[in-house]
Amino acid sequence: MTQDTVLTLIRQGIEIGLLAAGPLLLVSLVAGLVVSIFQAATQINEMTLTFIPKLVAEFLIIIALGPWMLRVLVDYVVRLYNSIPTLIG
Q: Would you kindly state where each structural domain of the chain is located, as residue ranges? A: 3-88
CA 71 to chain centre: 13
Residues 26-84: tens digit of each pLDDT: 999 999 999 999 988 988 888 788 889 999 999 999 999 999 999 999 999 999 999 98
Q: CA dist 77 to 6, 8, 68, Å?
A: 15, 14, 14
Contact 54, 35 (CB under 8 A): yes
Residue 2's pLDDT is: 85
The residue among 63, 54, 48, 53 whose CA lies nearest residue 28 is 54
